[in-house]
Amino acid sequence: MKMTFRWYGETDTIPLQYIRQIPNMSGVVTAVYDEPVGEVWGIEKIERLKSLCEAEALEMEVIESVPVHEDIKLGRPTRDRYIANYAETIRNLGKCGVKCICYNFMPVFDWLRTNLHTEAADGSNSLSYTHEELMKLDPKNLHLPGWDESYKTDELNELLEAYSGMTHEQLFENLVYFLKGIMPACDETGINMAIHPDDPPWDMFGLPRIITGADSYDKFFSAVPNRHNGVTFCTGSLGAGRDNNLVEMAEKYADRIFFAHIRQLKFKGELDFTEAGHLTKSGNLDIYGVVKALVKGGFDGYVRPDHGRNIWGEDGKPGYGLYDRALGAAYLNGLFEAVENELK
Ligand code: DNO
């Protein structure tokens, strides 16, 4: 495995040098942030990011994310142009040494939480989700914590309207159409596509969500068997679905897991949770079991410590401060080292 760390580009308050100082850090996971969704990422912008990373001896082999235009998810006639652009971005990333692209196929919204600073007894704080609170929100007039509000209210309303009546099956077909369109670019460049699960893994505001657990993985791989079609195994997203057996899934799909996001949850109600420190003992997910299962299954991808808490007085980007993610990386390094030696 290769340990990595998410870095939000030049506006990230965490310097690359600090990331480099975390033991065993091979590189960063980043993105071109100033290109509108759907447009081609030019080589110059990619190269610039790469040279900043290389100046700190960090690799840039993983991109999170190249976002998918809503027209693709909606299956609109304009999708072919956006798919061609996406394929062009893949080719440009390939020329710059990128090996893996993380993306998601959630309609309109990415991850959703209801509180970004839920305080724990020890004074740390983290993200949390309370289903009842989310249900009270009006999706047409949404101001969600952490959500980038990239849509104006009118645009958002139009978009929600466009999705009305869309079934899970239709959305899935649109995903397959997209993947079939970009797989030739992956074959050419060797880039692996790693879909991120829906977070949390259930429908939101009547919008279908389709990458939620083992059944969706089976369907996904049988629809697009190409070896470059794989997943980002996000323990926090999948783990919020109480039916998902993460340990079983980690081993079963290890050879299609190109990227692992590892984090911990503490269950609060049937659908409610608070994020916690990465240690197995700190929450309900068996982080040790997941790492062991990945190694047993022959996992050979990238890992990053996902969402950390705010600790030691840090007021970092929610989920993405330095300290707790660095502790997470150290913990995960230890687990991998122990398990790899044990199973040798
Ligand atoms: C949140 C992240 C997600 C993820 C995207 C991938 O912390 O895990 O925003 O980057 O869903 O496309």
CATH number where 119 lies: 3.20.20.150
CB 160 within 8 A of CB 68: no
Question: Which residues touch 183 (CB under 8 Å, ≥6 apart)?
Answer: 224, 226, 228, 229
**pTM, rounded to two decimals:** 0.97
Confidence band of 138 (pLDDT split at 50, 70, 90): confident
Identify the burial level of 6 via C-beta atoms within 10 angstroms of its C-beta, where 0-12 means exposed, 13-18 middle and 19 or more buried: buried
Residue 147 beta carbon below 6 angstroms from any ligand 1 atom: no
Condensed to tens digits (0 to 9), the pLDDT of residues 235-286 reads 999 999 999 999 999 999 999 999 999 999 999 999 999 999 999 999 999 9
In our burial notation (b when 16+ CB lie closer than 10 A, e otherwise), range 43-71 reads: eebbeebbebbeebebbbbbbbebbbbbb
Among residues 129, 234, 253, 324, the one annotated as catalytic is 234
Confidence band of 147 (pLDDT split at 50, 70, 90): low
Average the pLDDT over 325-338 and give the result: 98
Among residues 103, 253, 307, 324, the one annotated as catalytic is 307
Work out how many domains the chain is built from and give that number. 1
Condensed to tens digits (0 to 9), the pLDDT of residues 93-119 reads 999 999 999 999 999 989 999 999 999
Tokens standing for 173?
């077909």
Q: Does residue 5 surpass a pLDDT of 80?
A: yes
Closest CA to 232 of 260, 213, 205, 209: 260
Tokens standing for 131?
């289903």
Reply yes or no on whether 261 is catalytic: yes
CB 69 within 8 A of CB 82: yes
Average the pLDDT over 143-166 and give the result: 80
pLDDT at residue 150, as a whole number = 65
Cα separation, 113 vs 277, in Å, equals 17
**Distance (Å) from CA 343 to ligand 1 centroid:** 31
Reply yes or no on whether 168 is catalytic: no
Q: Which of 66, 100, 199, 210 has most ligand 1 atoms within 8 Å of CB, for mutation?
A: 199
Q: Does residue 145 surpass a pLDDT of 80?
A: no
Cα separation, 306 vs 219, in Å, equals 26
The residue range of the domain holding 234 is: 2-342
Residue 319 beta carbon below 6 angstroms from any ligand 1 atom: yes
Q: Does residue 67 surpass a pLDDT of 70?
A: yes
